[in-house]
Structure 1
Amino acid sequence: MKLRVLIFLTAFSVAITVSSVNFYFQHRWYDVTITFFVSFSISFIVFYYLIEKYVYSKIKLIYKLIHNLKLGRDLRDALGEQHIISADPINDVEQEVKEWARQKKSEIDELRKQEKFRREFLTNISHEFKTPLFAIQGYIEAIQDDEFEDLDMAAQFLEKAAKNVDRLSYLIKDLDEISKLESGEIPINYTRFKINDLIKEVLDSLEMKAKQHDIKFIYKQKYDENVMVNADRDKIHQVIINLVDNSLKYGKTGGSTSVSLFNLHDQVLIEITDDGIGIEEKYLPRLFERFFRTEQSRSRQVGGSGLGLAIVKHIIEAHQQTINVRSTAGLGSTFGFTLQKAKQSPFPAIPGIK
């Protein structure tokens, strides 16, 4: 309700009351009418002055303060004072406070989530660093205690320590890469290339590892058609390597990993599917978080830094594309991501020249 309407109704009520009392004692309509208009005018002026001075001005000040804090100094100055003061500040203050309360509650909830994520991240990164460091420390202490009397054992321990040093190096390298991807320090160098050739290149490079896991690659010949995309070839190579390697780690012996291409309107969908251990539905929303591991993947034999999927997500999002996962525990998983199709060259192909 607007302020002037509220004052009008209050003054009207006072005038009715005073006029009723006057009529009760004098019973003269002329006096009652005069009393009504006089009392209404005086009441309206008095109430308006009092409310304007002691209530309305304070409410305007509170409203301006809240509004300025929400807008910020630069935007407030750009809008000007005329856009800040409203004709009905009481109602506006109510709406502003409610909206501000909802906003602050949302911010507090988000800060709590971030705090939880920070604690988990510190716990995970501490665990990832401590495991190889303690292993290296143990091997070195064992060699020192043996005083190099058993050279074969010393060589074996040094080899194992070196593997853990490599693991630390990979971990630091992956952390540095994620940091640079998040800050935009690593640019996306778009080029036009055939995605089919890149997929075959990745599968050929992982063929030996697939044989070690007794997993077969499926990539049908029909995908030899000319599918051109516009993306950073090296980074997409890393994405496909990580996803295919992931399917080998969590695939089943005697199983398969298939790569599929789907032509969309102006995009290409690439899917990597395995028939391995799969992922429980409750873990899917957090699968691309740094260092997140499901209960099935806690084994140290799996290896890796725990950052592979986080890097994949950052690379795809840096291309302004999407990545998703579908999975059923015990049946397997499918990771899919999109890439922008390359525009057809405006120049016709010359026969005999590729």
Structure 2
Amino acid sequence: MAKGFRRSYRFAIKTSIYVSLFLTGISAVFLIIHDAYSEWALLLYGFSCFIFSFLIIQYRVEAFIYKKIKKIYENVSMLSATPLNPEQVTTDMTSLSQEVQKFAEGKKLEIEALKVRDSYRKEFMGNISHELKTPLFTVQGYIETLLDGAMKDKNVRKQYLSRAAKGVERLVYIVQDLDMITKLETGELSLKPEVFNIVEVVQNVFDLLEMKAAKKNITLTFETPYAPVWVKADKERIQQVMTNLIVNSIKYGKNDGTTEVSIEDHSKKKIIIRVSDNGEGIQKEHIPRLFERFYRVDKSGSRKEGGSGLGLAIVKHLLEAHKERIFVESTYGMGSEFSFTLKKAKKL
């Protein structure tokens, strides 16, 4: 009872009592002067004044507050996901202040989120501008040099055209990777799940990247029995995930280092595949943003290694498309481990 007895009613009741007592007192004086005093009539008159005053005061104050607060809501309505209902605003100032505080906190969180997104957007635009600008200017420079007369020399012409072709190739990689991420986000890129041996996929990726690892004298090891491990997923996309993770491991691995792949049981229905290295590692503040497009841990050195800057972003989107998760563990100066899950399957 006490809980439901709002402060708005206390305000209205007290004000109504004051008004009623005042009117009743005036009426009593008037009746006494005219010798028409009646105790019951006076009480009835006082009670009627109280009820009438209470209803008028309660209604008017609620309407007044709602009208004023509604203007505040309207001023920020562009950020509001839910409209203001009259039931939300009463003369109960505690409830009213709670509603306004809740609204203000919600808007504050929205504004902070928008600021973060805007910061990411600016950084993303700067990154993509840099990634596209470098190969474009490279291609432009070689072509302009050839047009200025260098193409008359056969050896120079072949060398410059070869370098320009590499710049165009990098542009193609960036555009293709961006196109893939966009299709994954919009659901346009459909997966083709099949049952396959994940051990065979890892070995194929090792064969493809053996020469790349040899340039830094990095040893590729597979700490898993050669018995087949059957999974159900899109084989081509999972091979791309493995390739991107191992390429990333080689890129940031130290000379004479090791990149190791292992496969373990994660649960009754899933396995977990780990790609670990003893490279430079990743500082903690960078880990939450590793899978953003074009995000670079090393803003200068990593670009020397080439690539589109979208490898980990593609890995994340491909695994999310499979409804799987990816995990990262890293100790700066000691190495990193990327792991992801896949559904087990029986051999057909």
TM-score w.r.t. the length of structure 2 is 0.81
Distance of 2:88 and 2:302 partners within structure 1:
66
The aligned residue for residue 156 of structure 1 is: 159
Compared with structure 1, are the counterparts of its residues 162 and 262 closer, same or farther at alpha carbon in structure 2 (3 Å cutoff)? same
Do structure 1's residue 51 and structure 2's residue 61 form an aligned pair? no
Kept in 1, the 8 Å contact 2:224–2:263? The answer is no
Distance of aligned partners of 1:301 and 1:43 in 2 relative to their CA distance in 1, 3 Å threshold: same
Distance, in Å, in 2 between the alignment partners of 1:319 and 1:165 is: 32
Amino acid at match of 1:229: V
Shift in Å at residue 293 of structure 1? 0.8
- Any unmatched runs of 5+ in structure 1? 77-83, 346-353
Structure 1 residue aligned with 2:173: 170
1:258 lines up with 2:264 in the alignment: no
- Residues 12-27 of structure 1: pairs in structure 2 closer than 5 A: 12-14=17-19
User: For 2:97 and 2:81, how far apart are their aligned partners in 1?
Assistant: 15
The percent of aligned pairs where both chains have the same amino acid is 39
CA–CA separation in structure 2 for the residues paired with 1:90 and 1:323: 52
> Which residue type is aligned with residue 251 of structure 2?
K
Residue 50 of structure 2 aligns with an amino acid whose one-letter code is S
C-alpha separation between the residues in 1 aligned to 2:180 and 2:253?
27
What SS does the corresponding residue of 1:206 show, helix, strand or coil? helix
2:217, 2:257 within 8 Å by CA — same for their partners in 1?
yes
Q: Structure 1 residue 4: deviation in Å?
A: 3.8
Structure 1 distance, partners of 2:109, 2:45, is: 53
SS in 1 for 2:340: strand
Q: How many positions carry a matched residue from both structures?
A: 329
CA pair 341-147 structure 1, distance change in 2 beyond 3 A: closer
Relative to the length of structure 1, the TM-score reads 0.80
Residue aligning to 1:196: 199
Q: Indicate whether 1:313 and 2:334 are aligned.
A: no
Alignment deviations for residues 277-312 of structure 1 (CA, whole Å, 9 cap, x no partner): 222222111111111111266344300010111111
Give the CA deviation at 1:97.
2.8
Question: Aligned-pair distance for 1:31?
Answer: 8.6
CA pair 64-21 structure 1, distance change in 2 beyond 3 A? closer
Residues 234-270 of structure 1: per-residue CA shift (max 9 Å, x gap): 1111101000011111111111100112212232211
Matches within 5 A, 1:1-354: 1=6, 3-14=8-19, 38-52=45-59, 54-57=60-63, 70-71=81-82, 86=87, 89-91=90-92, 93-222=96-225, 224-265=226-267, 266-295=269-298, 298-342=301-345, 344=346
> Taking structure 1 as reference, are residues 148 and 296 closer, same or farther at Cα in structure 2, changes over 3 Å only?
closer
Q: Which amino acid aligns with 2:61?
A: V
For 1:144 and 1:190, locate their aligned partners in 2 and report how far apart those are by CA, in whole Å. Answer: 50
Deviates more, 1:250-259 or 1:144-153: 144-153
